[in-house]
């Protein structure tokens, strides 16, 4: 997904945030819906392409669904923000492909393959394994842990949808960088300090929202496992404020393959 944030300077991003706020204040319109890929007011006179998101309610439901699997796993991982930014950009690849792994202690882990194609290629992809909040270059360990998870995941196949957990979670590097630009813009405008990236494991299951609307996931997501991404900030020093739904939002759960 190409966004308006791509290749834009920090100051420009801040102007967009201010425009979102001032547009709603001046015109007293219904707040824009940030859950979609675009921000627009009810009168249609304000239109910005924005990042894909996943709502807090979906994340909460997904976290509960993940717990029900009773895996030997943490509810998610916390990553070094700037190390992650370096890893996804250092090799100048088009795609960041995430895979669930099973380590030597049969504990769920996460692997990363940087690549110019959408398929896993052990010979040409640059393979990392998550360790201590960082992705560490370990191609042999990645392959072994991937095989362990592939042998294990059959027990996680949903009896209704017949979907297995997930083979690969695909992101375009450009989309990741767009997300990181937004979080840095938030930091620059508010004075908050970026602390870390948070990957919360979720399992997609149909559910009914508190407002009564039903969330019915597409076939390729129902009962599958992924993660939602969030940036953690230290809000001790505040220069200016932004609405919580701009600061504390979960970025989408990627493109689940196959």
- Across residues 38-45, what is the average pLDDT? 33
As for how many domains the chain has, the answer is 1
Q: What pLDDT score does 6 carry?
A: 42
CB of 88 closer than 8 Å to CB of 126: no
The verdict on residue 5 lying in a domain is no
The verdict on residue 234 lying in a domain is yes
For residue 248, is pLDDT > 90? no
Q: 196: pLDDT confidence band, cut at 50, 70 and 90?
A: very high
The verdict on residue 2 lying in a domain is no
* Interval 97-133: pLDDT, tens: 999 999 989 999 999 999 999 999 999 999 999 999 9
Which residues, including other chains, have CB under 8 Å from residue 245's CB and lie 6 or more apart? 34
The verdict on residue 4 lying in a domain is no
Q: Which one, of 71, 65, 68, 60, lies nearest residue 205 by Cα?
A: 65
The verdict on residue 185 lying in a domain is yes
The verdict on residue 3 lying in a domain is no
The verdict on residue 180 lying in a domain is yes
CB of 180 closer than 8 Å to CB of 219: no
- Across residues 145-166, what is the average pLDDT? 74
Range of the domain at 29: 10-257
| Average pLDDT taken over every residue of the chain | 76
236, with CB counted inside 10 A (0-12, 13-18, 19+), is exposed
Secondary structure class of 29 (helix, strand, coil): coil
* φ/ψ of residue 40, rounded to 5: -150, 145
Identify the DSSP state of 236.
S
CB of 137 closer than 8 Å to CB of 113: no
The verdict on residue 224 lying in a domain is yes
CB of 182 closer than 8 Å to CB of 5: yes
């Amino acid at each position: 997904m190409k966004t308006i944030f791509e290749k834009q300077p920090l100051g420009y991003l801040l102007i967009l945030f201010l425009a979102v706020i001032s547009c709603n204040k001046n015109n007293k319109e219904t707040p824009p819906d940030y859950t979609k890929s675009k921000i627009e007011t009810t009168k249609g006179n304000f239109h910005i392409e924005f990042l894909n998101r996943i709502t807090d309610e979906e994340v909460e439901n997904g976290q509960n669904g993940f717990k029900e699997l009773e895996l030997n796993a943490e509810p998610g991982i916390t990553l070094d923000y700037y190390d992650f930014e370096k890893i996804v950009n250092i090799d100048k690849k088009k795609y960041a492909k995430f895979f669930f792994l099973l380590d030597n202690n049969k504990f769920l882990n996460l692997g990363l393959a940087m690549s110019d194609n959408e398929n896993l290629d052990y010979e040409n992809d640059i393979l990392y394994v998550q360790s201590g909040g960082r992705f560490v270059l370990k191609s042999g360990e990645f392959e072994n842990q991937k095989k362990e998870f592939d042998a294990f995941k059959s027990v996680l196949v949903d009896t209704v949808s017949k979907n297995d957990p997930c083979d690969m979670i695909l992101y375009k590097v450009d989309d990741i960088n767009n997300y990181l630009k937004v979080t840095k813009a938030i930091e620059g405008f508010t004075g908050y300090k970026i602390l870390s990236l948070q990957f919360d494991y979720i399992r997609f299951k149909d559910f009914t929202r508190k407002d009564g609307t039903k969330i019915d996931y597409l076939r390729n997501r129902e009962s599958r496992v992924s993660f939602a991404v969030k940036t953690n900030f230290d809000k001790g020093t505040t220069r200016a404020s932004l609405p919580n739904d701009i600061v504390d939002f979960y970025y989408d759960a990627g493109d689940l393959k196959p």
